[in-house]
Amino acid sequence: MFDNLSEKLQRVFKNLRGEGKLTAANMEAALREIRMALLEADVNFKVVKQLIENIREKAMGEEVLTALSPSEQVVKIVHEEMIKILGSHESRLRFANDPPSVFLIVGLQGSGKTTSAGKLARWLSRNGHRPMLVSVDVYRPAAREQLKVIARESGQTIYEGAPGEKQPLELARAARMESVQTGRDVLLVDTAGRLHIDDDLMTELQQLKEQLNPVEILFVADAMTGQDAVKSAGEFHRRLGITGVILTKMDGDARGGAALSIRHVTGQPLKFVGVGEKPDALEPFHPDRAASRILGMGDILSLIEKAGQELDQKKAVEMQRKLIENDFTLEDFRDQMRQVRKLGSLGSLLDMMPKVGMLKDLKNVKVDEGEIGRVVAIIDSMTPRERDNHMIINGSRRRRIARGSGTTVQEVNQLLKQYATARKMMKSLSGGFLGRKMGKMKMPPGFPFGDMLGR
């Protein structure tokens, strides 16, 4: 997500780092590069123009702070302006005073409507609602079945329709009645899509809108289609009036052009992003966090939120101290592995982390359960003294540990080597940029010892 843009912008900031102060000349050079980076990320040209103007105005204005370096100043300004373009604050879903709140899910074929409807039902259930799903996509034979399967897999309630109900309007009406009778407070209506916007589809959607009076008309767009997604969002808004956007497949979109353009071009907020095919791969969109992610500061807030459910905050602080002081033992390492296992994939964890230098490589590291299990087993077989000081683990100790953990001496060697490399890496990082950043950021454990896996 945003990887390419993030990389390019960081290069611009790095170049600025050598400058003593912000001048018209070096600022113009930086602006040119930022402009290029945005255009290459497929950001709408009007948005780029606006952003650059805003950044220039601020940078050249009176707001320049003497306490910050030129590079820090530009990062701060770009961050602020990017948040503005993305929508300033999180746009929450609206609900009707009179339940059920009807959400119409609309968009082109293949954009991710059905998948997102299922994910949204799950998200709503977990946030205190009682949603009901219904598919009114009566054209493709498998469409309604698909939603049924998704609903079943994620434990969501669906209105399947009575035998006679064959038309979208009939189905929607019946589902609404069923929602009222069974006390469901949100009705999610998954609609049909077409390959292109056509009049028949629009007429049908308008009729559904008229009849159901939805509080939300959520346009689902595929982020990978870039400016095409933005264009069709604009078109749907013009003809139907959308209230928000769900941008799917952000996990596969390294550029981020659609995400950065949609709000500014359509005037409607990005409410959720789809970040994978699994039922839980849907996140509310936070402009500030997205901007931080683009600028490579890492999505620290999301990380802490996610980690917070699983981790003991005190332990996190302690772990962070250890990381910085390079006082990180094999015992701590084992704890880390267990946390990584609890949190799920290391990839999604690292996606939220600051992208600094070599850490980027870690994203491609696959964590497999077996590997973690092996690491934990090996460390379990060590004595407390060995865990505290890996230097004492000589040949005979290695053989004993291998036997005790059901692994080979080679695997034990490999683990120790990876551990040593990571310690070294931590040392160099903790002295530099990351160390200072981390000092302020309360870094939870689980980071960044993926290096020691899967190499």
Ligand X SMILES: Nc1nc2c(ncn2[C@@H]2O[C@H](COP(=O)(O)OP(=O)(O)O)[C@@H](O)[C@H]2O)c(=O)[nH]1
Could you say whether residue 276 binds ligand X (CB under 6 A)? Answer: yes
Question: Which sign does the torsion angle of CA 180, 184, 185, 187 carry?
Answer: negative
251 binds, among ligand X, Mg ion, none (CB under 5 to 8 A by kind): ligand X
Place of tokens 């601020």: 58
- Strand, helix or coil for residue 106: strand
Write the DSSP assignment of 40-82 as a string of letters. HTT--HHHHHHHHHHHHHHHHSTT--TTS-HHHHHHHHHHHHH
Of 159, 162, 149, the C-alpha closest to 118 is 149
Which tokens hold the place of 47?
A: 């948005």
252 binds, among Mg ion, ligand X, none (CB under 5 to 8 A by kind): ligand X
User: Which position among 44, 101, 114, 336 is part of the footprint of Mg ion (CB under 5 A)?
Assistant: 114
Site for Mg ion, residues 32 to 91, rule: CB under 5 A: none
In 3-state terms, what secondary structure has residue 188? Answer: strand
CB of 289 to ligand X, least distance (A): 17
Candidates 87, 100, 107, 446; binder of ligand X (CB under 6 A) is: 107
The secondary structure element, H or E, covering residue 221 is: strand 216-222
Rounded Cα gap, residues 109 and 301, in angstroms:
34
Alpha-carbon distance of 318 to 324, in angstroms, equals: 10
For ligand X, the binding residue among 6, 10, 111, 179 (CB under 6 A) is: 111
Tell whether residue 277 is a contact of ligand X (CB under 6 A): yes
Q: Rounded to an integer, what distance in angstroms lies between the CA atom of residue 366 and that of residue 427?
A: 24
From 84-92, 106-114, 160-168, 170-178, span contacting Mg ion (CB under 5 A): 106-114
Contact 56, 77 (CB under 8 A): no
Residue 70 contact partner, candidates ligand X, Mg ion, none, CB within 5 to 8 A by sort of partner:
none
Amino acid at 175: A
Residue 250, C-beta contacts closer than 8 angstroms, at least 6 positions apart: 1, 223, 259, 273, 274, 275
Pick the binder of ligand X from 252, 373, 384, 432 (CB under 6 A).
Answer: 252
- Is 105:116 a contact under the CB 8 Å cutoff? yes
Q: Give whichever of 293 and 398 is closer to ligand X, judged by the CB atom.
A: 293
Contact status: 111 vs Mg ion (CB under 5 A): no
Judged by beta carbon, residue 113 or residue 271, the one nearer Mg ion is 113
Q: Is 116 near Mg ion (CB under 5 A)?
A: no
Instruction: Please give the single-letter amino acid code of residue 451.
Output: D
The interface partner of residue 450, options being ligand X, Mg ion, none and the CB cut-off 5 to 8 Å by kind, is none
Residue 111 neighbours by CB distance under 10 Å? 25
**Residue 156: contacted member of ligand X, Mg ion, none (CB under 5 to 8 Å, by partner type):** none
The single-letter code of the amino acid at 414 is Q
User: By CB under 6 A, is residue 153 in contact with ligand X?
Assistant: no
SS3 328: coil
> Residues 188-227 vs ligand X: string with x where CB under 6 A?
-----x--------------------------x-------
* Residue of the chain from 124, 259, 262, 275 that contacts ligand X (CB under 6 A): 275
| From 178, 251, 253, 332, residue interacting with ligand X (rule: CB under 6 A) | 251
| Footprint (CB under 5 A) of Mg ion, residues 282-341 | none
253 vs 386, which CB is nearer to ligand X?
Answer: 253
Report d(CA 187, CA 129) in Å as an integer: 11
Near ligand X by CB under 6 A, which window of 268-276, 313-321, 414-422, 439-447?
Answer: 268-276
User: 277 contacts which partner out of Mg ion, ligand X, none, CB within 5 to 8 A by kind?
Assistant: ligand X
Stretch that binds ligand X, among 26-34, 244-252, 372-380, 425-433 (CB under 6 A): 244-252
Q: Looking at 24-32, 113-121, 301-309, 425-433, which segment touches Mg ion (CB under 5 A)?
A: 113-121
Indicate which single residue of 110, 308, 373, 406 sits in contact with ligand X (rule: CB under 6 A): 110
Q: C-alpha dihedral over 107, 109, 115, 121, to 10 degrees?
A: 30
Name the residues that contact ligand X, by CB under 6 A. 107, 109-115, 193, 220, 248-249, 251-252, 274-277, 281
